[in-house]
Amino acid sequence: MNINGQNTETKRGKTLWTPRMIATMGVLIAIQIVLTRFMSIQAWNIRIGFGFVPIVIAAVIFGPVPAMIVAGVSDVLGALLVPTGPFFIGFTLTAILTGLTFGLLLHKEQTIGKSIMSVLIVQGVYGLLLNTLWISILYGTQFGPLLATRAVEAAILAVVQFATIRMLSELVHRLPGRLEA
């Protein structure tokens, strides 16, 4: 079910792309761009903020494919509209994988175990390893020393993401007409 209690799935389990769903995704994309580009603490190789929240919301409400779209489109649009450096497709891949992971693990239920697993994958694999690789390639810096400095970012964001996902999960379960699909 979607926000208004309407069924967003067919009998075969495929998502129906309703105008309300598309509009909601558009709003989430806009919010993600604002949170990431204007409301984050940012240095050349570190960004700490709440830009992941709209992706988690899309994942919880709609599932993996819409979360991937929200993540990927917001990354590309954000890079075009408010560039913080050169565009690099690797970061878009990381964003899409983030949406996929949150969608697969958090769509139906947001247990503590699934929340921990999603954060460890997103921060440990995508944020720390993949994004560090992309920065290393993009700027020609050594991977090892860069990884050490970015580990602090990943640790901080892991705690922030886990706490935020747990709070969002509690809110979802308290809302009338719940946001589950």
Which pLDDT value is given to residue 116? 96
Domains of the chain as residue ranges with CATH: 19-174 (1.10.1760.20)
Which pLDDT value is given to residue 178? 47
Q: Which value, to the nearest 10 degrees, does the dihedral of the CA atoms of residues 109, 113, 116, 120 take?
A: -110
Which pLDDT value is given to residue 127? 93
Q: What is the distance between the alpha carbons of residues 157 and 159, in angstroms, rounded to a whole number?
A: 5
Express each pLDDT in 133-177 by its tens digit: 999 999 999 999 999 989 988 998 999 999 999 998 888 767 655
Which pLDDT value is given to residue 2? 45
Phi, psi of 140 (to 5 degrees): 70, 30
Which pLDDT value is given to residue 169? 85
- Please choose, from the candidates 148, 170, 171, 168, the residue with its C-alpha nearest in 3D space to the C-alpha of residue 160: 168
Which pLDDT value is given to residue 176? 57
> Which regions in the chain score pLDDT beneath 70?
1-15, 43-46, 173, 175-181
Express each pLDDT in 169-180 by its tens digit: 888 767 655 444
Which pLDDT value is given to residue 172? 73
